[in-house]
């Protein structure tokens, strides 16, 4: 999809957030910049909400909002972290650092910068369920040291993974999955602004397809509009029943089996981020492709491995880690 993504073009303001209790709590945090834990399922709008908070709270949100996705560290090698242009200036000349020290340095340096506008800046830690306990202890110390100039916002699906000293320093904000009616309302606003033909059945089909994941719904609506020129029932059915995930999964499995793990993981990232799939949904797609790809002992082995991965996903710290483990096993 070459054109700008609708999830970026139509990023919500605080006033657009459909959950009144969440909206009110975030408005309070503009006037009183307390630390927050945003907790809720994938696609419930946590990341979009904190970006809306930053645009409301900061005159220069591009500089006073620092986003750190925890998987950028814990799912990557030292070399990948060191070569990431977002972190390179923090780590220049420190390639011999242990991975744990690299992570701590990026966090401490980010927190130590003075805000560009106003009295404070906001640091977001996304996918925080992947943070190891030793790193959480370091995070606690950074929060204590920089509390006067830095608001910390921790976004997670599993707040119980956070240690008590972190939770006690943050106000919890609970997100629920949006209802189909709420998703339809968001989609209707977008397609009308885009001048795309639609009908109510088409919007409802996309909302049902997304299964409570607003990001996935918006991407699916854009895919339908791009492929079919409209978001009607027939158009959505044709576009989303042939969205090409099978080909992506086949390519990912080809790369994994050939030992091209970096390429396989790039496709996995596309599925998790660009397509908005959860780890469980990717696992289902792998099994669907696997049934036509393997037989006998190979298929039995895939199902045994998938069962182990599915259990890990239920207690997940990171979908990417566990599906990557499956791909590595296939390569082995």
Q: Which segments of the chain belong to CATH 1.20.272.10?
A: 245-331
Mean pLDDT of 56-64: 92
Domain 245-331 has CATH 1.10.3720.10: no
Average pLDDT, the chain: 86
Q: Give one word for 296, left, alpha or beta, with left for phi > 0 and alpha for psi -120 to 50.
A: left
Which residue has better confidence, 315 or 135? 135
Mean pLDDT of 280-307: 84
Confidence at residue 316, expressed as pLDDT on a 0 to 100 scale:
61
Top-confidence range, 104-113, 116-125, 136-145, 193-202 = 193-202
Angle, vertex CA 190, rays to CA 18 and CA 127, nearest 5: 55
Domain 180-240 has CATH 1.10.8.60: yes
Which residue has better confidence, 258 or 202? 202
Q: Which residue intervals of 211-278 are DSSP H helices? A: 214-228, 233-240, 245-257, 261-269
Please state the pTM of the whole predicted model. 0.72
Mean pLDDT of 54-63: 92
Q: Is the pLDDT of residue 280 over 80?
A: yes
Q: Which segments of the chain belong to CATH 1.10.8.60?
A: 180-240
Fold of the 19-174 domain: Rossmann fold (3.40.50)
Confidence of residue 242 (pLDDT cuts 50, 70, 90): low
Confidence of residue 319 (pLDDT cuts 50, 70, 90): confident
**53-62, 158-167, 251-260, 291-300: which range is least confident on average?**
291-300
Query: 235 to each of 16, 88, 196, how far by Cα in Å?
Result: 27, 45, 12
Q: Which segments of the chain belong to CATH 3.40.50.300?
A: 19-174
Which tokens belong to 318? 């990171």
Confidence at residue 312, expressed as pLDDT on a 0 to 100 scale:
81
Number of neighbours of residue 331 by Cβ within 10 angstroms: 15
Per residue in 68-125, pLDDT tens? 887 777 767 778 788 888 777 788 777 677 777 887 888 888 888 888 988 899 999 9
Angle, vertex CA 272, rays to CA 267 and CA 274, nearest 5: 80
Which residue has better confidence, 266 or 318? 266
Beta bridge partners of 124: 67, 153
Confidence at residue 285, expressed as pLDDT on a 0 to 100 scale:
85
């Amino acid at each position: 999809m070459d054109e700008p993504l609708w999830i970026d073009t139509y990023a919500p303001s605080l006033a657009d957030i459909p959950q009144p209790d969440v909206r009110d709590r975030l408005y309070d945090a503009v006037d009183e910049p307390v630390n927050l834990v945003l907790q809720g399922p994938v696609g419930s709008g946590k990341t979009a909400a904190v970006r809306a908070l930053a645009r409301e709270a900061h005159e220069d949100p591009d500089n006073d909002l620092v986003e750190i996705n925890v998987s950028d560290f814990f799912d990557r090698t030292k070399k990948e972290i060191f070569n990431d242009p977002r972190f390179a200036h923090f780590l220049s000349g420190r390639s011999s650092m242990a991975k744990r020290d690299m992570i701590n340095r990026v966090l401490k340096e980010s927190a130590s910068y003075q805000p560009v506008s106003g009295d404070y800046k906001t640091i977001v830690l996304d996918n925080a369920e992947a943070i190891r306990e030793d790193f959480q202890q370091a995070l606690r110390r950074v929060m204590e040291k920089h509390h006067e100039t830095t608001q910390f916002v921790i976004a997670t699906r599993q707040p119980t993974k956070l240690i008590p000293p972190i939770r006690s320093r943050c106000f919890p904000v609970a997100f629920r999955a949006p209802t189909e009616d709420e998703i339809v309302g968001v989609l209707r606003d977008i397609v009308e602004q885009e001048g795309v033909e639609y009908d109510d059945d088409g919007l409802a089909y996309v909302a049902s397809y997304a299964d409570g994941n607003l990001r996935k719904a918006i991407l699916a609506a854009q895919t339908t509009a791009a492929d079919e020129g409209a978001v009607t029932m027939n158009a959505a059915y044709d576009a989303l029943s042939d969205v090409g995930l099978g080909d992506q999964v086949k390519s990912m499995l080809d790369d994994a089996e050939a030992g091209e793990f970096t390429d396989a993981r790039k496709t996995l990232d596309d599925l998790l981020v660009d397509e908005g799939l959860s780890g469980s949904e990717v696992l289902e797609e792998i099994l669907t492709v696997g049934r036509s790809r393997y037989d006998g002992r190979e298929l039995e082995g895939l199902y045994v491995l998938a069962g182990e991965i599915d259990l890990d996903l239920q207690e997940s710290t990171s979908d990417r880690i566990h599906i990557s483990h499956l791909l590595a096993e296939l390569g082995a």
